[in-house]
Amino acid sequence: MLKIENYSLTLIGNDGQDLPVLENINLEIKKGTCLGIAGESGSGKSVLAMSILGLLPKASIKSSEGHIFVDGEETTNASEKVLNTIRGNKVGFVFQEPMTAMNPLMKLSEQIGEVVYAHDPLATKTTVEKKVIAALLRSGFKEPEKFLDSYPHQLSGGMRQRAMMAMALVMEPKLIIADEPTTAIDAELQIELIKELRNQIDKNGLSMLFISHDLGVLRSISDEIAVLYCGNLVEKGPAKEIIDNPKHPYTADLISALPRLVKERKLPKSIEGILPSPDSKPWGCVYSDRCKRVFDKCSSERPVLKQVGENHCVACWKI
Ligand SMILES: Nc1ncnc2c1ncn2[C@@H]1O[C@H](COP(=O)(O)OP(=O)(O)OP(=O)(O)O)[C@@H](O)[C@H]1O
Ligand SMILES: [Mg+2]
């Protein structure tokens, strides 16, 4: 459903400087599976998601290399016309900030209905309403009819995020790209929504790219997990394998920082230091200035991904 091949992207910074935000990314999502993307704030998760559908402002792009295919169709350098048919029809996008993606002056029914009309201008009112209600139900609204006339500001943060989900699901796309879709939702609703999404993957063959900085959340929904650090993939593999047997020091550090995943009553340890900005990355391994296992080679040469198990790859000189 999704193939990203040797994709690199350089954006333009505030002072006109080059920002290499993504470097040589290779990823794949098979039909009916979910790939989780993990990484700290600023690692490039949203930029990667937006690149898939050509959603980044053209003026902010310095250069890009490589290819991205959605269901066999190339989206890199595709025309707006081609991208528009892919957006919504083939791919539904759940944005990180529901408030900026929704029109504050539109009722929920109009907001979600508009997506249907955009792809089928001749749709009847009854068909549209049926589709809207079905999408709301699939996004966890118990009595969707009650919310059709609500405006975004009348909904809680969690409900707005579910409404975004409904907008993404309404055209029954084959692939959903969900960028931190559960961050504004309390823990209980989060579990419910993840269950619902996983259901859609297993029952309807939906494919999904699920972005979260929380590996605990990713474990519960993903088949595979890819860990992004400073625009570089440092590890990818089966979700269980990544959580139970992380190989890259960064993945291991992310797991130790998660209270729920730390076993034997050890206290969670936050990772020391901060993520370097894209224009001040260390020369060798991108994690070398924070890594506890660093040695000479790490600061002089960038490691590439190498296979360590079935579908499990790690970019680290120690492995
Ligand atoms: N339009 C843009 N122009 C220039 N730089 C950008 C642009 N959008 C993002 N960036 C930069 O790209 C890098 C990656 O940002 P991105 O938003 O993808 O991070 P993220 O992993 O999604 O973080 P978060 O978890 O906070 O959402 C950051 O350094 C950010 O400042
Ligand atoms: Mg983001």
Q: State the average pLDDT for the chain.
A: 91
Which of 36-45, 81-90, 143-152 is predicted least confidently? Answer: 81-90
Atom 6 of ligand 1, residue of closest alpha carbon? 11
- What interhelical angle do 125-138 and 157-169 show, nearest 10? 120
**174-178, 213-217, 287-291: least confident range:** 213-217
Residue 165 has pLDDT above 70, yes or no: yes
pTM over 0.85: yes
Helix (H, G, I), strand (E, B) or coil at 275: coil
Domain-wise residue ranges, the chain? 2-90+173-281, 102-172
Q: Is the CB of 231 under 6 A from ligand 1?
A: no
Is the distance from CB of 308 to CB of 241 less than 8 angstroms? no
Ligand 1: atom nearest CA of 180 is: 27
Question: Predicted confidence band at 200 (pLDDT cuts at 50, 70, 90)?
Answer: confident
**313 sits in which H/E element:** strand 312-314
Secondary structure (3-state) at 131: helix
2-90+173-281: which CATH number, 3.20.20.105, 3.40.50.300, 3.40.50.720, 3.40.50.2300? 3.40.50.300
CB atoms closer than 10 angstroms to residue 80? 8
CB-ligand 1 contact for 213 (6 Å cutoff): yes
Q: Position 183: which residue type?
A: T
DSSP string, 218-247: HHHH-SEEEEEETTEEEEEEEHHHHHHS--
Minimum-distance ligand 1 atom for the alpha carbon of 19? 5
Mean pLDDT calculated for residue range 5-23: 97
303-309: long-range pairs with CB below 8 Å, 24+:
305/26, 305/233, 305/236, 308/247, 309/237, 309/241
Considering only CA atoms, which of 203, 160, 207 is closest in space to residue 184?
160
**123 in helix, strand or coil?**
coil
Task: Check residues 140 and 62 and name the one with the higher pLDDT.
Answer: 62
Residue 61: enclosing H or E segment and its boundaries? strand 61-70
Please report which confidence band the pLDDT of residue 146 belongs to, taking 50, 70 and 90 as the band edges. Answer: very high
Average pLDDT over residues 24-47: 96
Q: What is the mean pLDDT of residues 33-61?
A: 95
pLDDT tens-digit series, residues 88-122 = 789 998 887 777 778 999 999 999 999 999 888 89
Query: 212-264: per-residue pLDDT in tens?
Result: 988 989 999 999 999 999 999 999 999 999 999 999 999 999 998 887 655 55
- In short, whether 21's Cβ falls inside 6 Å of ligand 1 is yes
Q: Which ligand 1 atom is at minimum distance from the Cα of 43?
A: 21
Rg for the chain, CA atoms, rounded: 20
Q: For residue 187, what pLDDT is reported?
A: 77
Please tell me the predicted confidence (pLDDT) of residue 89.
85
CA of 20 to the centre of ligand 1 (A): 11
